[in-house]
Amino acid sequence: MPGAAPASAAPATTTYRSTLGPVTATLTFRGAYPESHGAVLTISAAGRVTYRRAVTSKFCGNLCWPQAADYGGSSNPLQVVRLGPGAPDVILGLYSGGAHCCTIDEIYAPVRTSSPSTSRSYRATEVFFGDPGAQLRTLPGAKWPVLVTADDSFAYAFTDYAGSGLPIKILRFTNGHVVDVTRQYRHLISLDAQSWLHAFYAQASTHYDDSVGIIAAWVADEYLLGRARSAQAFLRTELRAGHLHSALDPQETGAHFIAQLTKFLRQRGY
């Protein structure tokens, strides 16, 4: 009689923790990428549990992979930080899987409750970044950190992903909401614009064969700086020079690209 088959080993459990002051966040999940499951987030204050729930996202359900956010070089996907006055917030970085997609931050902000046994609970806000992800940075002159990322809506908008430029985007989390504060940081916008313009001119050696995605990011930055008119004049100059091309659609005219980009920027609040 053959012996019984050995029982398969239970998936290993991984635990991450992060602490700031009296607040400790703990993440546990089983398995390994890309088949991790059962993620649970627990938040406690002074040793008392105030939040414990399964981790879910509207982008990847309960199958999101915990991914370290680029916050100070830590490999921990979990960070307890102060994004504003009051008790600390908790940030959990997630990854949905897939090509060029998708990074997500779940921000858990403390809220008052009416329960006499629990002075605070936490409410989750989901921030979708797409491919670029975000850095948590305290910028010069600012008291609280912001999320520095890029506008993922430009990906594939005018050419393929490799040729797409993504202009800078800066977000602040305040009062349970994510607010776009990019225009407040003109120096960073200017640096970003310079990098895209340099990349555009670098394409001269290839006769600007896939230039529209790169210059679109520069134009977006110029719009943020209040220089829409001069940006449009530059586009017309490059159109006459024959420098506006898309590898995704070589037959598309530069004039059509300018019209498409202008509409795109207007629709997205640039």
**Cβ 27 vs Cβ 39: under 8 Å:** yes
**Cβ 137 vs Cβ 67: under 8 Å:** no
DSSP 70: B
**pLDDT tens for the chain, residues 1 to 270:** 344 444 455 568 889 999 999 999 999 998 776 677 789 999 999 999 999 999 988 887 777 888 876 555 567 899 999 999 888 999 999 988 776 678 999 999 998 665 555 456 899 999 999 888 899 999 988 899 999 999 999 999 999 999 999 999 999 999 889 999 999 999 999 999 999 999 999 999 999 999 999 999 999 999 999 999 999 999 999 999 999 999 888 777 899 999 999 999 999 999
H or E segment and range at residue 217? helix 212-224
Dist CA 114 CA 261 (whole Å): 50
pTM assigned to the model:
0.88
> What are the distances in angstroms from CA 46 to CA 21, 86, 91?
9, 15, 19
Written as six digits, the tokens of 196 are 């895209």
